[in-house]
Amino acid sequence: MSTANGSGRPATNAGSDGLAVRVRGLWKRFGAQVAVAGIDLDVPAGRFCGLVGPNGAGKTTALSMITGLLRPDAGTIEVIGRQSWPDPAAVKAEIGVLPEGLRLFERLSGLELLGYVGRLRRLPGAEVDRRAGQLLEVFDLDSAANKLVVDYSTGMRKKLGLAAALLHNPRALFLDEPFEGVDPISASVIRDVLTRYTRSGSTVVFSSHVMELVERLCDWVAVMHRGQIVAQGPLESVRAGQPLEQAFLSIVGAGDRGGDGLTWLGSSSG
Amino acid sequence: MVGIFVRLKLRLLANGLQDTARLVGFAIGTAFTLAMTPLATIGWLGLRDSPELAADVGVVVFTAIALAWVILPLGLFGTDDTLDPARFAALPLRPRTLVTGLYVGAFVGLAPLATTALLAGSVFGLSDGPGSMVIAVLALALEVALCVAVSRALASALSGILRSRRGRDLAVLVGVLIGGSGQLVMLGTAYVSGSADLVHSAASVLRWAPPGMTAWAAADAAAGHYLPAIAGLAGAALADALLLLWWGRTLTGAMVTTDASTARSARPTGRRAWLQRVHPGGRAGAVAVRELRYNWREPRRRSAWVAAVLFGGIGPFLLLRQDGAGAGGVYVVCLTAGIVGLQAANQLGVDGPATWMHVATWRGPRDIRADFAGRNLALALIGAPILLVIALALAAIAGSAGSALEPFALACAVLGIAFGVGNVASALAPFPVPESTTNVFSGANTGQGCLAGVVVIGSMAGTGLLSLPLLAAPLLTRLDRPGQAAVVYLGGIGYGLVVAWVGRYLAGVMVYGRQPELLGLLTRREAG
């Protein structure tokens, strides 16, 4: 049990090939529906990686499998040089996760929740409480520290979930839609914390369908569409000189369906 | 407009049935209705020969059914979400149109159908001749109309309260208390007195309330008193109209306060600061503390304890009184232990989707064992004192306070066995228990009731089976060798601890092998 859990930085944040995440031939079906159709994904260590795609592209399913919370049908996943499957325990110890839906222990206060998660990760109690206090302060949740999570707003929940994911100082962070439903102030706090985190050599992978956000934050992009990765690489090479949104629309081949048929719409046409 | 609402309701029902779990729930409800209807009809027909008793029974049954419809929106069963007025808030509909549409739509469904079917026999039971039969049909129609109206109007009136978290928390508890105490009252009255007199005195009061009024009107008509019968029906119809009027008013309010759920309550800091600092070492300790907090704060778990104490605590007293058994009767507390131990039957399910926070930190079966140990410990810390109090009370009733200790020791052993069985059941068949959601109209997990029933019955059977060796304990101590009783009872507790440990061990292995699948099971409902 080597560890990123202690107070010092981990010795390495990548596998032997310099990749934080290495996915090959990953498949997942739900009944007749193919959610993830054989993707290959590489994320070099220390990158701020955005996984973009429309709703239903398979981002959440892919992230769940990579983080060891969903069993793949086929394929291999390596995170920080460790296999996620069949036994994801080693990977789970090294990463932080913010899954979709943010289902937290609602009847704990924010402070209690962080204290609980830290102890589940077998961190020393005093250290947990110290880190929890600091994280709550950084995320501007200290005034709500003793309020039950059930009474938190969406933005507060995201911040608390992120704090819980960071608590054990993971080597890589996987966040599902961390900015969805978050007000601009909270979003900027989250952005700052994540940027600081990657600057130290750790990796962030987050999913989003907001292109502007990904464009502003990320230096590495993977584009998902209908269960497949249709483009990936450094931001500049994926967008090829256009705004990311344009690049994305041309990559997935979305036609111009801006409502040609809706001739009646608008006040002038009567 | 009304047609649209009815078609919408039918479409939603049909779509809902594509989900297997809902289909099973629906099938069970239908089977129950089909099985009960002939019995109820036979009962009604049997009353034909004694019109006075028929009138009394009619009044009481009509009132009881209406009461059930009153309790329905309190979240005991969860009403259907298909007619949530908030969903129509954005449409330009006047309250009058909306109430009419929602009201008629509310008649489409299993519950109104079952109510009608169960009461249909009253048309014959409460009538004598074709003229009074017309009145009886009208009475039945009015009764069903009243039931639907009162349940809808109440749900809409309460929705303001129930949209706030504290209101919902309270409602869950109130529901359990009403359900539990209702059971006890029924049990108690059946136990205390003869039935006919009681029904008559209840009916003489209840006939003045609208549901009773309808049944009484039918009975009046059967006796040839048509004028009071028509007056009674008119009274009930007026009550129905008033309910609809009230509903229309609260509906307007409910539609514009849809988002009151964001109202938050700050918790005073420092009040529970001492509890913040209580953090025993280790994973099991952390889980135990969290579980203790949850059992207090989570309304469903708190209600589960209230129910366990109501049924497991008060039941034995009635049993003891009936039996007239002496000090041996104190051993009934072992049954209580079995009921209290049922709280362990779904230990993963009660955490629901939040379970991922555990899954994300599991490094091996050992961690899972530790989680179960923490959960068992928390349940024992709450359950054991309850058992002690009940054992002492039973012993006091039996007249020998000293006789509490040995039954209490055996009850602790049973509790341990129940935990062991519960640990395995939790790993085998977890079912999600939904966190009370933002809205009165969203029901519990339909169809999960069946699985829950199987798990509970299976756990009880397993606990009973594994408890059989404990029967030897009171017999062995009869041998009367000095110090032997202590050894026997400590041995019993030791046996309970071993069963609990084996259960934890098995659960650890089983859960570790299928973490994603379990997580999927516990998250499934919420994803939709």
Q: DSSP characters for B207-228?
A: TTSHHHHHHHHHHHHHTT-HHH
Q: Is the confidence metric ipTM above 0.90 for this complex? A: no
**Is the pLDDT at B264 greater than 60, yes or no?**
no
Q: What is the pLDDT of residues B326-341, one digit of tens each?
A: 666 788 888 889 988 9
Query: Which has more confidence, B521 or B358?
Result: B358
**Shortest CA gap A250–chain B (Å):** 31
**Is the pLDDT at B189 greater than 60, yes or no?**
no
Longest CA–CA span in chain B (Å) reads 85
**Is the pLDDT at A27 greater than 90, yes or no?**
yes
Mean pLDDT of chain B: 80
Identity of the highest mean pLDDT range in A29-33, B86-90, B452-456: A29-33
Inter-chain contact B267–A148, Cβ cutoff 8 Å?
yes
Mean predicted confidence (pLDDT) in B222-234:
92
**Is the pLDDT at B354 greater than 70, yes or no?**
yes
Nearest CB partner across the interface for B526, out of A68, A101, A147: A101
Contact present, B308 and B388 (Cβ < 8 Å): no
Instruction: Write down the pLDDT at residue B442.
Output: 39
Taking Cα atoms as reference points, which of A211, A203, A239, A222 lies closest to residue A40? Answer: A222
Instruction: Write down the pLDDT at residue B23.
Output: 79
Q: How does residue B265 score in pLDDT terms, banded at 50, 70 and 90?
A: very low
**Shortest CA gap B498–chain A (Å):** 25
Instruction: Write down the pLDDT at residue B171.
Output: 67
Inter-chain contact A109–B283, Cβ cutoff 8 Å?
no
- Phi, psi values for residue B310, rounded to 5°: -60, -50
Number of C-beta neighbours around residue B69 at 10 A: 23
**Shortest CA gap A99–chain B (Å):** 9
Instruction: Write down the pLDDT at residue B190.
Output: 54
Q: What is the pLDDT of residues B369-419, one digit of tens each?
A: 999 999 999 999 999 999 999 888 888 877 777 778 888 999 999 999 999
Q: How does residue A211 score in pLDDT terms, banded at 50, 70 and 90?
A: confident
**Shortest CA gap A221–chain B (Å):** 26
Inter-chain contact B516–A148, Cβ cutoff 8 Å?
no
Mean predicted confidence (pLDDT) in B507-511:
94
In a mutational test of the A interface, the residue from B166, B261, B264 whose CB has the highest number of chain A CBs within 10 Å is B264
Q: Quick one: closest CA in A to B528, which residue?
A: A101
In chain B, positions 328-367, which contact chain A (CB-CB < 8 Å)?
351-354, 356-364
Q: How does residue B438 score in pLDDT terms, banded at 50, 70 and 90?
A: very low
**Is the pLDDT at B153 greater than 70, yes or no?**
yes
Nearest CB partner across the interface for A89, out of B351, B353, B362: B362
Inter-chain contact A148–B279, Cβ cutoff 8 Å?
no
Q: Is B177 left (phi over 0), alpha (psi -120 to 50) or beta?
A: alpha
Number of C-beta neighbours around residue A263 at 10 A: 8
**Is the pLDDT at B83 greater than 80, yes or no?**
no
Query: Which has more confidence, B279 or A128?
Result: A128
Instruction: Write down the pLDDT at residue B446.
Output: 45
Instruction: Write down the pLDDT at residue B82.
Output: 56
- Phi, psi values for residue A219, rounded to 5°: -110, 0
Instruction: Write down the pLDDT at residue B440.
Output: 40
Q: How does residue B525 score in pLDDT terms, banded at 50, 70 and 90?
A: very low
Q: How does residue A11 score in pLDDT terms, banded at 50, 70 and 90?
A: very low
In percent, how much of chain B has pLDDT > 90?
28
How far is the C-alpha of B419 from the C-alpha of B372, rounded, in Å? 9
In a mutational test of the A interface, the residue from B293, B295, B436, B522 whose CB has the highest number of chain A CBs within 10 Å is B293
Q: What is the pLDDT of residues A49-73, one digit of tens each?
A: 999 988 888 999 999 999 998 999 9
